[in-house]
Structures are given as structure tokens and as C-alpha cells.
Amino acid sequence: MTMKSVMVNKRELHKSGPENTINENLSMHIHKSTVETKSDEVDYDELLSSAGEFGKYQVILFFSTFPFYIFGVFVYYSQLFMTEVSPNHWCWIPELENLTDAERRNLAIPRDVNTRFGYSHCLSYDANWTEVLTYGLTPDESWNTKSCQYGWEFNKTEIPYPTISTDQNWVCERDSYQATAQAAFFVGSIVGGFVIGWISDKFGRLPALISSNVIGCIGGLASTFSINFVMFATCRFIMGMSYDNCMMMAYLIVLEYVAPKYRSLMSNMSFALFYAAAATALPYLALVCGHWKYFSLVTSLPLLLAVFSPLFLPESPRWLLAKGKIENAIQKVLTIGRINKKEVPLKVIEQFRLSIQKTKPKKVASIVEVFKRPVLRRMFICICIEYMCCTIVFDGLRTVLPCNGRLRCYQLLSEDLERQSFISVVTLQRLLSPYVIYLENYVYWLPLAILSIIAAIGAIIAFALPETAKKDMPNTFEDAEELIRSQKLWDFPCIAKNAEVQEQINESCHI
């Protein structure tokens, strides 16, 4: 509507008589009251923005989480370097110790064209080696064979340090021990999710962060002294209880102290800088340590430093508000304002107090509620399958990838739903990933083929998920349903027209 038409309409309205003038004044008064009522409501994000959206405080807090990403890498990846075994191994023959590796293998190990390296990993010829060496006999396929009696030799050019698998001979009939130990780790992560989640809700995010790291330290130290598989698997179960709360708690606390428009940047940068750097350095740390026991100590003891986290990390403001500790949350924001050199207006603080008092406590809904709603039920299943595909591929490849995808997924389920339910459902599939990798003992290319198929399935399912870029995360089931219904299959934010801005312009002109 043009300015000229607005002026004409106003003239006609005044010409029409006093009755229309009264109606106009009443309408304007109602609109003004509505605007004032909305402006009086101040949520936590608005209060936080008044203290500085991304200032000195947020930068310091961002870098203070670096140690926890290192701890997360230690907890998740350390077992890989402790249990890995060279696929190129063969029976150890003490009588032939004066020969070279190649000479011992060619003389004592039978050929096997079905294996990756062309010789048996679990059998040796049953011969009198003193007689063989004395008379210079050559191996004959008609000789009897027997299983390895004195242990194994390993190609040290692939893994140049002892691991628990080489020390305790977890090969041949015991070659599934590595996968089972990894599965025990993931079982521990499921149990730890409930335990640490309860601590987080009951006592706060910082106690949960400290508890998870202390548990990981205990499990890692105990792993160092493992003398058999059962003991090691039990220790890895304990270690798994700390994953991934030992890192994610700090990650979430930082995001709560950053203004909404900077949270995506913070979440991506933290993994791109801290997590990637720690994961890149870990193989070199394993080489420097030179033994799996030293490596276990080096990757476990630092987790104990988490007990000092209250000295530089604040408590979650949303947890404080959920527990009715409004003044504590306000003090946190005032501290941010002081460090950022921004004064938080007293009016905003008072409006925030009144808004909190008016807010009704949210009822935490059961996951059953999701399945009662067709739209959410379909999306929940798609998200679960998508996350399963991502984590199986991630665990299988052991590649440094962005981890905040899971957070994006379960944010779609809205704040009404206990997110721990989602994590518990989809984490069960992680028990399968170690055994997918174990298939290489039968067909060495099979794990990569399976992972490729799973990755392709995940890519296809991703099209069914709603886009969340530049959109507010849903807070209720209704918000989530509206977000899902408002998008089409081929909606891409990078090429979509800015319809919302155009709509706001039209509404402004209309007013």
C-alpha cells in the first residue's frame, strides 16, 4: 500500500464521522497495549544479549573448553591405539629365532591363498626344526600343521609398539576380543548417559562434567593394569560411562552463554579447532609413548584435571532457572556484562524477573507422546535412522567429523521431550559398529562396502529432514510440527527467496 493511499484512507475515515474516529482510537489503543505487553516480556536470550552477544567473556569461555575436547578425544579414540593389532602376523617359532622374519615365515608357515597376505595366520608346520635346519630341508605342503604354540610375530612396520592385543595374543580364535571390548565401551556409554544425565538434572551441569571425567580417569587407569580380557572389557565399560558427557557438558554450557545468532559459529568452530587438533595429534602421542600402558596413563590422568573446572566454567544458566535460582542466573549475566564492559539495564533485569514469574513450568513429556503424533512420529523415526547411519559410519571410519549433527537432530524433537530418550534409543546401534569392522577378518573389503551402503542410505534419508538453518529451534510439539509442515522436500535456504522479509515489508506498509 502506498503512502498516498494511506493518507486518502485516513481522510475518508475522519470524514465519516466521530463514530469511526472512536473506533480508530480504540483500535490503536489495543494495538499499543499489545505491543507494550510483548515488549515487557524478556527471556533469557534477550537478557544475555544486553550483556554482550559475543564479547571478551564469550571468547575466554570458548577457549577455556579446549581441555575438554582433548579429554573427549582421549576417551573415544584411545582404545583404538591400545587394542589395534597388525593384520600381518604369523606363528612364532622359537627354534628359528636366528633367522630373519621373512625366512621364518617362508620356512615355517603354510601358504593360504584365501588370506590377505597369502599365508596362514594361525597355523605352522609341525616339524623338527633342528633337523630341518641341519639338513637344509625346504617346506612341503604334505607336512602336518598345528596351531600356534608359542605365540605370534607381528609386522612392526604397521604398528611399531606393543598393544594389549599383541601382549595377550588377541588373534585367531580370540580375534573378536577387540570388537567385544569396544562394544563394552558403548554399553558403558548408554549406562553413563542415564547416570550422568541424572546427576546433571539433580546437581547441575558442572557436577555432571566433573563426574564423567573422573569416571573416565578411573576406567582408563584401571585399563592399564588389565591382565586378561574380562578385566579389560570391564574397565572399558567404566571408561565408556564418561563418553561423551566428558566433553559435551562443557560444549553445551558455552552455547548457553552465547547469543543465539552466534551459536552455530561457536558449535562448529569448537569442533573444527579443538576436537580436530586433538584427534590429529593423538597418533603421534601414541608413537611417542611407545607402549599401550604408557599411552593409557597419558590419556587417562589428565581427565582428573576436570575437578578444577568450577574455577573457570560457570554453571548452566538454564539449569539455574529450571531450579528456581533466578538471582544466580542474573548474577552470571551481570558478570558477563562487567567483563564485556556493557552495563545491563535495570529495567531489563526487572522485566526478566517478572517474565520468569509469569512463565508456567514446562511439563516434560514422555517419548510416547511423539508416537501419538503422526508428523513427529515419522520425523522421529527418520532422525533415529539418520543418526544410526552417521554414527555407524563415524565409528567405523574413525574419521574426524563434525559431531554437532546429533545436537541438531534432537533439537528438532523440541524441548518438551526428554532428549535422553532419543540418545538411549539411537545409541544401541553403536554396539554393531565394532562387529562391522570385525568382518575384515573374513573379507577385508567388506566393512568399507557396508559402510558405503549405510552412508548412502543416510544421505537419502537426510532429504526427509526439515532444514533448520536460520530458523528458531522448536520449543513445543506444536512448534516442531509447524516447522516440519512448512517445508518441502527440496527446500534449500541458500537459493530460497526471502519471503519472510518481503512479508514484513508488506505488513509495515499496511500498518
Cell of 58: 564469550
Rg, the chain, Cα only? 31
The CA distance from 47 to 131, in Å, is 87
- How would you class 306 by CB atoms within 10 Å of its CB: exposed for 0-12, middle for 13-18, buried for 19 or more? buried
Q: Which fold has domain 43-79+175-361?
A: Growth Hormone; Chain: A; (1.20.1250)
Give the pLDDT of residue 217: 96
pLDDT band at 472 (very low <50, low <70, confident <90, very high): low
Mean pLDDT of the chain: 80
Contact 182, 236 (CB under 8 A): yes
Q: What's the pLDDT at 429?
A: 62
Model pLDDT, residue 212: 95
Structural element, H or E, at residue 262 = helix 260-270
Q: Tell me: the pLDDT tens digits for 129-152?
A: 988 898 888 888 889 999 999 999
What's the rounded Cα separation, in Å, for the pair 90 and 151? 9
Cell of 153: 610375530
DSSP-based three-state secondary structure for 365: strand
Cα atoms found within 13 Å of the Cα of residue 388, Cβ hemisphere only:
18
- Quick: pLDDT tens for 156-183: 888 899 999 999 999 998 988 998 998 8
- pLDDT tops 70 at residue 415: no
Q: What is the rounded average pLDDT of the residues 61-76?
A: 94
3-state SS assignment for residue 92:
coil
Write the pLDDT tens digit of every residue in 333-343. 899 999 999 88
Percent of the chain with pLDDT over 90: 34
Does residue 354 have a pLDDT over 60?
yes
Total-model pTM: 0.75
Does the N-terminal peptide bond of residue 244 adopt cis geometry, omega within 30 degrees of 0? yes
Q: pLDDT tens digit string along 321-331?
A: 888 888 998 89
Encode 109-167 in three state secondary structure. Answer: CCECCCCCCCECCCEEECCCHHHHHHHCCCCCCCCCEEECCCCEEECCCCCCCCCHHHH
Mind listing the pLDDT tens digit for each residue in 209-255?
999 999 999 999 999 999 999 999 999 999 999 988 899 899 989 98
286 has pLDDT over 80: yes
Is residue 193 within 8 Å of residue 249, measured between CB atoms? no
Whether 44 has a pLDDT exceeding 60, the answer reads yes
> How many other C-beta atoms are found inside a 10 Å radius of the C-beta of residue 131?
9
Distance between CA 409 and CA 413 in Å, rounded?
7
pLDDT at site 381: 83
Ranges in the chain annotated CATH 1.20.1250.20 = 43-79+175-361
- At residue 494, the pLDDT reads 56
Report which secondary-structure segment, H or E, holds 77. Answer: helix 66-83
Spatial neighbors of 13 by CB under 8 A, at least 6 apart, are 20, 21, 24
Nearest to 302 by CA among 80, 83, 69: 69
* Residue 364 confidence class, pLDDT cut points 50, 70, 90: low
